């Protein structure tokens, strides 16, 4: 009960802030970010934060000495387990990547290119076939967003399970 209450409050506040944030220009976004968060946010943190929702990344412990490498590894693991291409015409992306794109200030085309640069060769080839097969002008035409599931669960990394 406690987890559900906390998660609902966080989601409610995030929805309000993201709506206000989305309608602003670049300078206004920086001002909002400096008031409500870190002035220089690290967008890779999206792949490390776990609130206990089904769609969240795996729960891990990070160390200050290797934080950059650990965040990179968490990003690659998340992408590997949560991206799918079906019938060479749709790329299924988790909603967390939509949030990552907002925080990184990149559009759908740049996001799809970023995904291709950060997944293994097999998935990369599947995404390229998907882009080429439909003669698509916009990445948003082939991206299908997977719904965010706020159902409560924690998935522990192998390191924590030992």
pLDDT in tens, 40-90: 567 888 898 888 888 999 888 889 899 999 999 999 999 999 999 988 789
Domain extent, residue 24, equals 1-39
83 and 139 housed in the same domain: yes
Closest by alpha carbon to 93, among 118, 58, 72?
A: 118
31 and 111 housed in the same domain: no
Closest by alpha carbon to 61, among 52, 69, 70, 53?
A: 70
Beta carbons of 159 and 61 less than 8 angstroms apart? yes
49 and 114 housed in the same domain: yes
Tokens 């998340």 — which residue? 78
20 and 46 housed in the same domain: no
For the chain, the domain total comes to 2
2 and 34 housed in the same domain: yes
Judge whether residue 105 has pLDDT over 80. yes
Mean pLDDT of the chain, nearest integer? 81
Structure tokens at 24: 């602003």
Number of H-type helices and E-type strands within the chain: 7, 3
Q: Give the model's pLDDT for residue 15.
A: 63
15 and 87 housed in the same domain: no
Q: Give the model's pLDDT for residue 37.
A: 54
Judge whether residue 30 has pLDDT over 80. no
74 and 103 housed in the same domain: yes
């Amino acid at each position: 009960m406690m987890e559900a209450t906390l998660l609902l409050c966080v989601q409610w506040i995030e929805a309000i802030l993201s709506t206000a944030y989305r309608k602003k220009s670049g300078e206004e976004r920086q001002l909002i970010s400096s008031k409500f968060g870190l002035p220089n946010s690290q967008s890779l943190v999206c792949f490390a934060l776990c609130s206990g929702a089904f769609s969240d990344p795996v729960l891990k412990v990070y160390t200050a000495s290797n934080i950059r490498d650990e965040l990179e590894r968490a990003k690659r693991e998340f992408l590997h387990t949560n991206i799918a291409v079906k019938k060479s015409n749709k790329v299924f992306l988790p909603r967390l990547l939509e949030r990552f794109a907002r925080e990184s200030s990149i559009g759908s085309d740049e996001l799809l290119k970023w995904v291709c640069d950060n997944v293994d060769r097999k998935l990369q080839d599947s995404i390229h076939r998907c882009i080429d097969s439909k003669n698509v002008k916009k990445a948003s035409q082939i991206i299908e967003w997977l719904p965010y599931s706020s159902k409560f669960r924690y998935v522990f990394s192998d390191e924590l399970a030992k």
